[in-house]
């Protein structure tokens, strides 16, 4: 048996199609392709896959928010995000939370298969390039900017992130300075323009 994979994609036909393609490789064994998020941990624990291929959003739920907990809990399994969302925020969040790779569905089959082999055989994390402007901000600053975009006050942000209001004020000032704007509104507008935050991202 080669690389053992399970695949979670809420577009069932897409998931089944990719699973069929991968199964044609002699060293890849797709143990299960499924579409329901609540089955994920059950299949990890019972099938013991080497790699989980997972969409970034499942039925409207941002999987990237749960990724770090999954990576830490199932440390013998690698997680690869295979997604149709070409969103810089998603890519950076995936790597921040321990994904081994972030691959777009528009990539070729050869690219996907080669990536699976690199992750499994060579234990590599395929950290694809993140836009330089996105890297202007720290992980926490990106989180705060996303909350500012939701019209939350500094006090509300401090309570949501369990940090002091003074810390939030400092980080808001820092991200405004880094983005070279004059206000919170300007930071949100520029963040959207640069792809640092997305209008539809669910925190």
Residue boundaries of the structural domains of the chain? 3-121, 134-194
Q: Model-level pTM greater than 0.85?
A: no
Token pair for 96: 């921040």
CB 191 within 8 A of CB 145: yes
**Is the pLDDT at 86 greater than 70, yes or no?**
yes
CB 57 within 8 A of CB 85: yes
Q: pLDDT tens across 101-156, in order?
A: 999 999 999 999 999 999 999 887 777 655 666 667 888 898 899 999 999 999 99
Query: pLDDT tens digit string along 49-62?
Result: 999 999 998 888 88
Question: Strand, helix or coil at 38?
Answer: helix
Domain 134-194 classified CATH 1.10.1040.10?
A: no
The answer to whether domain 3-121 has CATH 3.40.50.2300 is yes
Domain 3-121 and domain 134-194 have a common topology:
no
Lowest mean pLDDT among 92-96, 116-120, 185-189: 92-96
Per-position b or e across 45-75, b if 16+ CB within 10 A of its CB: eeeebbbbbbbbbbeeebbbeebeebbeebe
Q: What is the pLDDT of residue 200?
A: 54
pLDDT value for 165 = 93
Give the DSSP H/E element, type plus range, for residue 83. Answer: strand 78-83
The pLDDT > 90 percentage for the chain reads: 64
């Amino acid at each position: 048996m080669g690389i053992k994979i399970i695949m979670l994609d809420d577009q069932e036909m897409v998931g089944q199609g990719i699973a069929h393609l991968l199964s044609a490789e002699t060293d890849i064994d797709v143990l299960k392709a499924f579409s329901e998020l609540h089955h994920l941990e059950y299949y990890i624990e019972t099938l013991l896959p080497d790699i989980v291929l997972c969409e970034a959003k499942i039925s409207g739920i941002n999987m990237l928010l749960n990724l770090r907990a999954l990576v830490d809990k199932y440390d013998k399994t690698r997680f690869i995000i295979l997604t149709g969302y070409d969103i810089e925020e998603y890519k950076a969040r995936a790597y921040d939370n321990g994904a081994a790779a972030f691959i777009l569905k528009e990539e070729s089959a050869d690219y996907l298969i080669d990536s699976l082999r690199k992750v499994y055989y060579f234990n590599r994390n395929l950290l694809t390039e993140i836009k330089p402007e996105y890297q202007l901000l720290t992980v926490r600053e990106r989180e705060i900017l996303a909350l500012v975009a939701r019209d939350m006050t500094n006090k509300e942000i401090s309570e949501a992130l369990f940090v002091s209001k003074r810390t939030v004020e400092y980080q808001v000032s820092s991200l405004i300075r880094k983005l070279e704007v004059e206000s919170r509104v300007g930071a949100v507008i520029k963040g959207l323009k640069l792809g640092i935050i997305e209008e539809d991202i669910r925190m």
